[in-house]
């Protein structure tokens, strides 16, 4: 049998967190479906002051949310948090240097608290919370087992009532209670909360495409064009999307929920792209009008037949610029011919000009063809005769 060193806990030093092994059922009042809720438990090392709440899952968003509400409940922040090697908190367990989830690390940095995961297969590292979980299961879950809950909020109200009773219950072998010990030991030693609560953020490694945009949740956000093909870290909250290169923020956008859309800042573009970005269908038609009415009509037709008008900008600009080589009058006549034959493209207009077709009559639109004479063909006089009889 190994000799065990007794652990002494300094006031305000360690906060142990974990989930209970048992769940609590919550009934959906509309469908009757039963969902098993998780019980998050935290215990302060010096005072044994306990916190507990129910969440839908043990996922990252619920894990982070429980920590935020826990710190609010305590009214301060300890020096370090000791979690189990839950995947929501620790992405890779290691005896010497465990890797923390980036969002968990971000939350810890916001509160200025260190995270020291318990070593794998070392239950004594988190003995406090192991005991705290057992106490919470016996004091809280056991008392709720015969009650029915129809919402998570209703369940947490019941948990809070029992939790207050647990923290105020006198110790059996020591003077005072968890609450009195907390007031005396831990609370004065806790560091103050930051001015703002932590806002949940997702982190993702992204690669900049050749169009200097990165993708998150189906939307595309610009970064400085010089970073194309670079690997960046993206941080997304409910309101913002930020990109970081080697720890330095290089882009910040308001988050968009438009799937397939693009959010682009002009300062992220090369100078040539900025000029292109200022073009609009109306502006393009206005330029074409300076060449002539047929040119404006053709440009408008080209833009309308594209699913996105921007896809026709280059073609329209090419047609307008033909006036520098051929003159506005010839280009406008060529555009009129292109409209008539439904050849709505830059290449068609250029071909008309190169072959000097802009001034020639349209095929089949020259002199009228002579009438066909045949014994079986009846003229207008025949029908007038029939009516008169």
pLDDT tens, position by position, 64-122: 999 999 999 999 999 999 887 655 545 444 333 345 678 888 999 999 999 888 655 45
Q: Give residue 5's pLDDT band: very low, low, confident or very high (50, 70, 90).
A: very low
Do residues 59 and 76 share a domain? yes
Do residues 300 and 324 share a domain? yes
Do residues 131 and 225 share a domain? no
pLDDT at 383 over 70: no
Q: Which ranges in 92-151 belong to alpha helices (H)?
A: 102-111, 127-136, 142-144
Q: Which of 11-20, 44-53, 176-185, 298-307 is least confident?
A: 298-307
Is 100 among the domain residues? Answer: yes
| β-strand pairing of 50-55 with 34-44 | antiparallel
Do residues 28 and 152 share a domain? yes
Do residues 129 and 67 share a domain? yes
pLDDT at 284 over 70: yes
* Predicted pLDDT at 253: 96
Do residues 159 and 219 share a domain? no
Do residues 184 and 266 share a domain? no
* Predicted pLDDT at 92: 43
Measure the CA–CA gap between 358 and 343, rounded to whole angstroms. 13
* Predicted pLDDT at 363: 66
Is 383 among the domain residues? Answer: no
What is the mean pLDDT of the segment spanning 188-203?
Answer: 93
pLDDT tens, position by position, 145-194: 889 999 999 999 999 999 999 999 998 878 889 999 999 999 999 999 99
Is 284 among the domain residues? Answer: yes
Do residues 245 and 289 share a domain? no
pLDDT at 53 over 80: yes
Q: Is 377 exposed, middle or buried (0-12, 13-18, 19+ CB in 10 A)?
A: exposed
Measure the CA–CA gap between 82 and 198, rounded to whole angstroms. 19
- Domain end position, chosen among 272, 304, 319: 272
Is 6 among the domain residues? Answer: no
Do residues 75 and 224 share a domain? no
Domain harbouring 168, CATH code = 3.30.420.10
If one compares 328 and 303, the residue with the highest pLDDT of the two is 328
SS3 sequence, 274-324? Answer: HHHHCCCHHHHHHHHHCCCHHHHHHHHHHHHCCCCHHHHHHHHHHHHHCHH
Q: What percentage of the chain has pLDDT greater than the value 90?
A: 51
pTM for the full model? Answer: 0.62
Which helix (H) or strand (E) segment holds residue 51: the answer is: strand 50-55
Do residues 261 and 158 share a domain? no
pLDDT at 14 over 50: yes
pLDDT at 376 over 60: no
**Tokens found for residue 149:** 């809950």
**Tokens found for residue 325:** 């080589």
- Domain end position, chosen among 189, 218, 253: 189
Residue 327 sits in which domain range?
279-354
Is 382 among the domain residues? Answer: no
pLDDT at 56 over 50: yes
* Predicted pLDDT at 87: 55
Q: Measured in Å, how far apart are the chain's first and last C-alpha atoms? A: 130
Do residues 116 and 42 share a domain? yes
What is the mean pLDDT of the segment spanning 227-235?
Answer: 92
Is 7 among the domain residues? Answer: no
- Domain end position, chosen among 225, 241, 272: 272
Cα 56 versus chain centre, distance: 22
* Predicted pLDDT at 55: 94
Q: Which of 15-19, 255-259, 375-379 is least confident?
A: 375-379
Is 109 among the domain residues? Answer: yes
Is 166 among the domain residues? Answer: yes
What is the mean pLDDT of the segment spanning 231-242?
Answer: 94
* Predicted pLDDT at 2: 44
Structural domain total, the chain: 3
Do residues 79 and 180 share a domain? yes
pLDDT tens, position by position, 212-226: 899 999 999 999 999
């Amino acid at each position: 049998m190994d000799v065990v060193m007794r652990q002494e806990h300094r006031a305000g030093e360690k906060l142990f967190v974990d989930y209970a092994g048992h769940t609590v059922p919550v009934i959906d009042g509309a469908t009757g479906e039963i969902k098993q809720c998780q019980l998050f438990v935290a215990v302060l090392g010096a005072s044994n002051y306990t916190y507990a709440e129910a969440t839908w899952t043990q996922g990252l968003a619920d894990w982070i949310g429980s920590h935020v509400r826990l710190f609010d409940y305590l009214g301060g922040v300890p020096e370090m948090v000791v979690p189990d090697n839950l995947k929501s908190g620790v992405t890779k367990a290691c005896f010497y240097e465990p890797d923390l989830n980036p969002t968990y690390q971000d939350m810890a940095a916001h509160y200025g608290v260190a995270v020291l995961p318990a070593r794998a297969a070392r239950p004594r590292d988190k003995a406090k919370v192991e005991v705290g979980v057992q106490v919470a299961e016996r004091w809280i879950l056991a008392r709720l087992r015969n009650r029915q809950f129809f919402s998570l909020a209703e369940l947490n109200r019941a948990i809070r009532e029992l939790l207050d009773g647990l923290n105020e219950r006198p110790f059996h072998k020591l003077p005072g209670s968890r609450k009195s010990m907390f007031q005396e030991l831990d609370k004065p030693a806790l560091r103050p909360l930051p001015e703002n609560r932590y806002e949940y953020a997702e982190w993702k490694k992204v690669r900049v495409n050749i169009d200097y945009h990165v993708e998150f949740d189906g939307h595309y956000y610009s970064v400085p064009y010089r970073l194309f093909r670079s690997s960046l870290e993206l941080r997304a909250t409910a309101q913002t999307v930020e990109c970081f290169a080697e720890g330095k923020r290089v882009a910040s956008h308001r988050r968009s929920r438009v799937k397939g859309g693009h959010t682009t800042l002009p300062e992220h573009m090369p100078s040539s792209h900025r000029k292109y970005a200022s073009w609009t269908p109306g502006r393009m038609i206005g330029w074409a009008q300076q060449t002539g009415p047929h040119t404006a009509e053709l440009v408008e037709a080209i833009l309308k037949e594209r699913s996105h008008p921007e896809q026709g900008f280059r073609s329209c600009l090419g047609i307008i610029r033909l006036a520098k080589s051929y003159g506005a009058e010839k280009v406008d006549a060529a555009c009129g011919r292109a409209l008539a034959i439904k050849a709505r493209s830059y290449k068609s207009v250029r071909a008309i000009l190169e072959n000097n077709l802009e001034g020639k009559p349209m095929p089949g639109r020259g002199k009228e063809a002579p009438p066909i004479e045949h014994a079986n063909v009846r003229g207008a006089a025949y029908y007038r005769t029939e009516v008169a009889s």
